[in-house]
Structures are given as C-alpha cells and as structure tokens.
Amino acid sequence: MTAKSPEVVDGMIDDSLLGILIILLVVMLSTGYVYLQQLQQGDGQQANAAANLARRAPSTASALGSSPQQAVISTNGLTDRQLKLHYTLPMRNGARTVTISTEALLKTDDVEALTWTNDEVPTLLADLSRIADVYLLCTVKDTNDAKSMQHIREFVSTHPDLKSNDTTPGWVKAHKILFCTTSIGKIAFVRQIEPHVHVEVDSGVVRDLEKHVPHIVHIPTTPVDAATSSVPNVAHELWDHDIIILLLAVFV
C-alpha cells in the first residue's frame, strides 16, 4: 500500500476541518432559525392574548385590571348583619374580595325572563357588597350575545337594593358582572381575581379551585351533586338557606 505524502495528508485534514466547519455552520443557522420562529410564535401568542383582552367588553377588562386595587372597608353606617359579616369573613389588609357564581343567585334558563333563586337574594347581596368587593360570574351560551349579557347586568345592577349611588359605598357594580361560556373560563376568572371567598354550584369547578382559593362555599343544587373533596377550605352546604346564613355558618 502506497504511503500518502505529508502534503496529501495535510490536504485531507484541511478538507475534513472544512467539512466540520460547514456542518457546524449549518447547525448554528438551523438553530438560529428555529429560535427566531419560536420568538415570533411567542410574540404572536402575546398579540393574540392582547387582542382577546381588547375584544372583551370594556367593563370586563377594566374590572379584571382593577381587581388588585381593593378599598379598605369602612364600618361606618353598617347594619348589625353587615357588621357580623364583616367581623366573620376573612380579609387581607383591611379588604376582601368575594366571587359568586350566578347559578347560586339567578335562574338564567330564559335570559328574557330572569328571576332570583330566592326573593331575599338582592338584599343579601347588598349586605355582602357593603363589606366586600363582589364579583358575579355568569356562564352564558355565547359571549358575543351582547344583548343578553347587558340584560343580565341591568337586571342585577338596577335592582333597587343593588343599584349603586354616589352617597352609599358598596352595591354590585355592572362592570363586575363577568361572563364566560365554560367552567374553564369561570375558573380562569376566579384565579385571576384571587378572591378570599368563592361561592360555587358546580362541583367540578370546586375541585379545580380548591387548591387556589382560600375559602370555597360549595352549594350543590342537589345532595347528589355534592363534591367529594375533603379539603378543609371547602365547605359543602345544601341550598336551603340564604347565602348570608351559609357564609356565617361556614366561618363562625
């Protein structure tokens, strides 16, 4: 076998090194391309999220945007029941937030003929709104149905017991009545609002939120629907009392 001259060997080494450099360059270019694509996808997702937020009703966006800002509760002018609620329910830094699924408050099968689950609900909500920042979470068939959502908002916020005014704090604000089409959307709202207490009818929502919300009051429509959770921050109460009594029973 003929031995290769040093010049030939050096040439082969140079060719090999050149080939390796070319391969490394291709790999680097490919990696850079993939990285840029990922960045573009991330920007696109952020843009889509921003667009989705912009497409929400302005009141919904403003309500969620203002949720961390909580006014300290004043006890001036509170009734005995409101004071009892105030000293019973948990709060943080002098303020508290409560989210309530409207299935516990309203019969929404026919949006054009809304009714309360109990005639006392408006008064009870008014009491609760005096000592807490209250959000109502309503599940609807279509969040593009602005007419139905507006009808629900007006039904709640214009009730004489709940209608806000400039002289009395509290009451349920129309822009804090939020809408979603699925339980997933409701869960997302609750986790973003971060309430101290959430009142819920759906046992599936209760199970998904029990690790994220300090206190949950589960009000199943029937005993069969009761969640099986044994987590201590979840209280299961049948819907045979008003919501205020249930809250007091849970925290006293």
DSSP 25-71: HHHHHHHHHHHHHHHHHHHHHHHHHHHHHHHS-HHHHHHHHHTT--P
Query: What's residue 38's pLDDT?
Result: 61
Distance CA 174, CA 164 (A): 9
Strand 133-139 vs strand 97-101: parallel, antiparallel, or unpaired? parallel
Residue whose token pair is 């959000």: 135
Which region among 52-61, 130-139, 155-164 has the lowest average model confidence (pLDDT)?
52-61
> What was the pLDDT predicted at 20?
74
Q: How confident is the model at residue 51 (pLDDT cuts 50, 70, 90)?
A: very low
Tokens at residue 113, please?
A: 């003929």
Q: Is the pLDDT of residue 23 over 50?
A: yes
Say yes or no to pLDDT of 70 above 50: yes
Token digits of residue 230: 């044994």
CATH number for the region 58-251 comes to 3.40.50.1000
Which among 21-25, 68-72, 176-180, 244-248 has the top mean pLDDT? 176-180
d(CA 132, CA 108): 24
Say what the pTM is.
0.67
Higher pLDDT, 75 or 239: 75
- Kindly report the average pLDDT of the chain as a whole number: 74
Q: Which of 167, 166, 136 minimizes the C-alpha distance to 152?
A: 136
Q: Is the dihedral of CA 43, 48, 52, 55 positive or negative?
A: positive
The percent of residues in the chain predicted with pLDDT above 70, rounded, is 60
DSSP 171: S
Using the Cα atoms of residue 118, residue 121, residue 122 and residue 123 in order, give the sign of their dihedral: positive
Per-range mean pLDDT, top range of 22-31, 69-78, 136-145, 217-226: 136-145
